Each structure stands twice: as C-alpha cells, then as structure tokens.
Amino acid sequence: MEQEPWETAGRRFIDQHVRYDRYGVVDLEQTARNAHIEVRRELLSHQQATLAPFSKGWIVRIDEMVTEKQEPFIFGHELGHIALATAGVPFFGLSAQQFQLAEAVCDFFSAQMLSSLYGD
Ligand SMILES: [Zn+2]
C-alpha cells in the first residue's frame, strides 16, 4: 500500500473523527467515542499520557495531575499518534529519530485540531 503524506492522512482523520461543539471547541468526549478511544484518568509516574491499542480501539491514559487546561492538547497529541497509526505509520519499533519526529508531528496535529480553523 502506498503511503499518503501524513498531512493528508491527518487532515482526513480530523475530518472523520474530531467533533467540535457549537463554539468551535473540540468536544473531547464525542471525539473519543468517534475514534473508539477509552480515556482513563490514572496516576502515571513519568508521563502526562500513554497510548495503548486494544481490541476495540485505543486506551488513552491521562495523568491525574494534568490540568483541565492542559488536557485538550495532551489528548490531541495522543490522537495524533492514532492518526499516524491509521495512516500506516508503525506505532512500535520506531528509531529514536523517528520517534522524535512523530512527537513533533503529533504536537502539530494537536495544535491543528485545536485551532478553530478546522471547526465548523
Ligand atoms: Zn507522543
């Protein structure tokens, strides 16, 4: 399968899964439901969030210390990893360099998702 550019895949993922409320703010609950993500609030030791695939979708664990204000960006970042995986970029076995790039892409994805540019 030929790989499409991640920008295109990311944009399509946003269109398909991300939901905004009438004020143009990302509706995290609906978006999670749409993308088959179960969000769990847990005490994580060294990370703000973790992502794990499971049979029906994905589990995003968000650290209990994450504030309400930080949560959308952190959730969006994890959603970026899911979008990359959906676009065929492997989730496991990345080199350190690929991982760093993926992290930057996911931050960018999150910023794009949160910008009202993509809202209705
Ligand atoms: Zn990440």
Domain boundary assignment for the chain: 6-118
Report the topology of domain 6-118.
Arc Repressor Mutant, subunit A (1.10.10)
Q: How far is the CA of 107 from the centre of ligand 1 (A)?
A: 8
Axis-axis angle for helices 6-17, 71-86 (nearest 10): 120
SS3 104: helix
Q: How far is the CA of 56 from the centre of ligand 1 (A)?
A: 21
Q: How far is the CA of 102 from the centre of ligand 1 (A)?
A: 7
pLDDT level of residue 116 (50, 70, 90 thresholds): low
Residue 107: predicted pLDDT: 94
Q: How far is the CA of 82 from the centre of ligand 1 (A)?
A: 10
Strand residues in the chain grouped as ranges (E): 37-42, 49-54, 57-63
Q: What is the pLDDT of residues 37-52, one digit of tens each?
A: 999 999 998 899 999 9
Q: pTM for this one?
A: 0.86
Count of residues for the chain?
120
Q: Supply 49's token pair.
A: 């969030």
